Amino acid sequence: MKNIYQNAEISKIFEKDIPFVREIERTCFGEKFHENFEKLIANDSYIYLLAKVNNEVVAYAGASIEYEQSDLLYVAVKSDFRRQKIASKLLLSLFEMVKNRGAEEMFLEVEEDNTSAINLYKGLGFVFLGTRKNYYGDKSAMVFVKKL
């Protein structure tokens, strides 16, 4: 099998990439969901990265930074490109970037039934902290943290 992981290029999200990122957002999180990427990429308190394979935007991830703490906000990969370690590569770059900006740990919340994301986070060294009941309406969130 072609090693897509090696080919995936990671970079910041620029204005020109936003329509492609939005399309991934729509297919992964639904029509109702709309991040204001224009604002977020211009704000120093956030880092948003994307992954390209053969020049196609196939994934993105974002985190916020506040002093020594950061929060992972999103990670999403186009369905055809999943299970090729692209999210892993993207998140490893994100860890480096937030660490270089002074963050010492990263927190995240994830829906309790999102097995693929939970496995991804555990594999990257996130440790389960606890549960937030009904954080997503009727679903609870699992909270994880990772030392950077």
Ligand X SMILES: CC(C)(COP(=O)(O)OP(=O)(O)OC[C@H]1O[C@@H](n2cnc3c(N)ncnc32)[C@H](O)[C@@H]1OP(=O)(O)O)[C@@H](O)C(=O)NCCC(=O)NCCS
Q: According to the binding rule CB under 6 A, does residue 11 interact with ligand X? A: no
For β-strands 69-77 and 105-111, DSSP reports them as parallel
Nearer to ligand X, 19 or 123 (CB): 123
Amino acid at 30: G
Nearer to ligand X, 106 or 110 (CB): 110
The residue to which tokens 């009904």 are assigned:
134
The binding track of 49-78 with respect to ligand X, each residue x by CB under 6 A or -, is -------------------------xxxx-
Q: According to the binding rule CB under 6 A, does residue 106 interact with ligand X? A: no
Query: Could you give the strand order of the β-sheet that contains 105-111, starting from the edge strand earlier in sequence?
Result: 9-12, 46-53, 56-66, 69-77, 105-111, 139-147, 127-136
Q: From the list 120, 141, 144, 146, which residue makes contact with ligand X (rule: CB under 6 A)?
A: 120
Q: From the list 86, 94, 98, 142, which residue makes contact with ligand X (rule: CB under 6 A)?
A: 86
Q: From the list 38, 43, 92, 123, which residue makes contact with ligand X (rule: CB under 6 A)?
A: 123
Q: From the list 88, 101, 135, 136, which residue makes contact with ligand X (rule: CB under 6 A)?
A: 88
Contact indicator for 116, 77 with CB cutoff of 8 Å: no
Q: According to the binding rule CB under 6 A, does residue 140 interact with ligand X? A: no
Amino acid at 50: L
Distance in angstroms between the alpha carbons of the first and the last residue of the chain: 32
**Smallest Cα–Cα separation from 130: which of 101, 148, 107?**
107
**Helix, coil or strand: residue 86:** helix
User: Where along the sequence are the contacts to ligand X (CB under 6 A)?
Assistant: 28, 74-77, 82-88, 110, 114-117, 119-120, 123
